[in-house]
Chain A
């Protein structure tokens, strides 16, 4: 029973990450395979602060969430950004 629930969560999570990746690909104009949990925005995805703001605005729209400016301070990787969005779903 627990295993089935875990499986369901995993599927949801994957779908959410796919949506996250779509946003990142569109806004940052990077190939989809570069958008991994470990990818660092500045170094790996060549994203400046304006890119990040743009990405956050796209994510807010796509996921129907609101992200406060202060929550973005320590975000350096795609994984951290994804976790932040996921925590609001």
Chain B
């Protein structure tokens, strides 16, 4: 499914208000581009300077916002949402994508490496979801998509902290999905596999090659592959899907 397929005549003028955390590169940047191409208004956050976050190609300034937001800082989360609301109104689609890795074997893993990854990937996602839901309740609609990982299910060595954080998102999503279902807010999870991003490249060429060799579809995924799945879960077409975990991994984790 491409963005063009989803561009619907029934979208409200100006498009939906979408917030993507970790929107400066990889899957987050691809999501920002997907929603912008779909006609939505997209706010993308980055830990770095907002000025370095460029609008996706061909997207006018009116439909794009770059925001500095470290999801480990509740005040920055609040400020990011406040900026979006002041300009466009409440966030209708949240893509909680910001994530980090600090890979090491458990026996060598210090508590900081554990804590930092949980704090960003899981608690950070909780922070943005909580803030988004507060307004979505009043809207009586909303879409939340958490970006998990096939690593939550296969448990790659060296990623105990990352796997725990990404598995945690699934439990959080399911609990939240039940809490807000009566307001027509859906909460879903995508579980990307080996995707061509900086995070994957950091695993090293040999490891990536090995992992790609295990992918039934025989290639690494692109950030756009994942963005298309997220775009679908956020669309009207996915109105009856909530609490689901959608693998986008070329079949790597199937059955897990």
Residues in A lying within 8 Å of B, measured CB to CB: 27, 48, 50, 53-54, 57
Contacts and interface: CB of A to CB of B under 8 A. Distances in A.
Nearest to B180: A50
B182 A54 contact: no
Contacts of A54: 137-138
Interface residues of B, number: 7
B138 A50 contact: no
B207 interface: no
Contacts, number: 11
Contacts of A50: 137, 179-180, 182-183
Interface of B: 134, 137-138, 179-180, 182-183
A48 B178 CA distance: 13
Q: Is the interface of A mostly helix, strand, loop or mixed?
A: helix
A54 B139 CA distance: 11
11 contacts: A27-B138, A48-B182, A50-B137, A50-B179, A50-B180, A50-B182, A50-B183, A53-B137, A54-B137, A54-B138, A57-B134
Nearest to A58: B138
Nearest to B183: A50
Given A50-B137, A57-B134, 9 more contacts: A27-B138, A48-B182, A50-B179, A50-B180, A50-B182, A50-B183, A53-B137, A54-B137, A54-B138
